[in-house]
Structure 1
Amino acid sequence: MPPPPGPPMPGQQPTPEQIRMMQQQMAAEAAKRGLTVPQYIEQLKAQAMQQHQAQQQMQAQQQQQGGHPQQQQMPINPGPPNPAAVAVANFLRSQELKPRTCLLDEKRKDMFRVKRAIRALQSPAYAKARSKNPLLPEVTDRASAENTFKLLPMSLLALRVSKIDPSVGHEGHGHAKPKRIKGLWTVRIEQHQDANDDDHYIWLYEGAQIKQKLYAAGALVLVIAVVMFPLWPLVMRQGVWYLSMGMLGLIGLFFVMAIFRLILFVVTLFTAPPGLWLYPNLFEDVGFFDSFRPVWAWHQDKKAKKKSKKTKSPAEASIAKEGNSTSTEKPTSAAPAASIPTTPAPAATGVSPAAGTPIQRKLHARVEEAEEE
Structure 2
Amino acid sequence: MVELALKRRACSRSFCSFQIDGVIEQDEEGRFKRPKWPKRLAMTPKQNFDPQAFYVVVYEGSKSWQHFILFCIIAAVLCVCMFPAWPLKLKVAVWYLSVVLLTLILVLVFVRLVLFVFFWFFGYQFWLLPNLFNEDAGIIDSFLPWIEWHRSQDDWAMFAARIFCAILTAGTLYKLSE
2:5 aligned with 1:79? yes
- Cα separation, 2, equivalents of 1:230 and 1:199: 62
Which one-letter code corresponds to 1:161 in the other structure? I
Q: Indicate the residue corresponding to 2:129 in structure 1.
A: 282
Q: Report 1:243-258 matches (<5 A).
A: 243-258=97-112
Q: Report 1:65-144 matches (<5 A).
A: 77-80=3-6, 85-86=10-11, 90=14, 93=15
Shift of 1:245: 1.0
The answer (yes or no) to whether the contact 1:282–1:291 under 8 Å persists in 2 is: yes
CA offsets per residue over residues 187-228 of structure 1, 9 Å max, x none?
522334432245443344413411111111111111111111
Q: Report 1:324-343 matches (<5 A).
A: none
The answer (yes or no) to whether the contact 1:160–1:201 under 8 Å persists in 2 is: yes
Shift of 1:291: 1.7
- Cα separation, 2, equivalents of 1:286 and 1:82: 39
* Secondary structure, counterpart of 2:3 in structure 1: coil
The answer (yes or no) to whether the contact 1:163–1:188 under 8 Å persists in 2 is: yes
Unaligned runs of 5+ in 2: 27-37, 132-139, 154-178
Relative to structure 1, is the Cα distance of residues 233 and 251 closer, same or farther in structure 2, using a 3 angstrom cutoff? same
Structure ranking higher in strand proportion: 2
The answer (yes or no) to whether the contact 1:264–1:276 under 8 Å persists in 2 is: no
Unaligned runs of 5+ in 1: 1-74, 94-151, 153-157, 170-184, 270-274, 303-373
Name the % identity.
21
Q: Computing the radius of gyration over CA atoms, which structure comes out larger, 1 or 2?
A: 1
Q: Indicate the residue corresponding to 1:237 in structure 2.
A: 91
Given the alignment, which residue of 159, 177, 195 partners 2:18?
Answer: 159
Relative to structure 1, is the Cα distance of residues 200 and 239 closer, same or farther in structure 2, using a 3 angstrom cutoff? farther
- Cα separation, 2, equivalents of 1:81 and 1:233: 55
Shift of 1:238: 0.9
* Secondary structure, counterpart of 1:253 in structure 2: helix
- Cα separation, 1, equivalents of 2:113 and 2:141: 20
| Higher RCO, Cα 8 Å, sep 6+ | 2
Q: Report 1:11-22 matches (<5 A).
A: none
Which one-letter code corresponds to 1:231 in the other structure? A
- Cα separation, 2, equivalents of 1:161 and 1:227: 50
CA offsets per residue over residues 300-328 of structure 1, 9 Å max, x none?
469xxxxxxxxxxxxxxxxxxxxxxxxxx
Aligned residues: 132
Shift of 1:250: 1.3
Q: CA RMSD, aligned part only? A: 4.1
Which one-letter code corresponds to 2:71 in the other structure? A
Structure 1 segments of 4+ aligned residues over 4 angstroms from their partners: 284-290
The answer (yes or no) to whether the contact 1:160–1:193 under 8 Å persists in 2 is: yes
Given the alignment, which residue of 291, 304, 327 partners 2:146?
Answer: 291
Q: Indicate the residue corresponding to 2:48 in structure 1.
A: 194
Q: Report 1:343-362 matches (<5 A).
A: none
Give the TM-score, by structure 1 length: 0.29
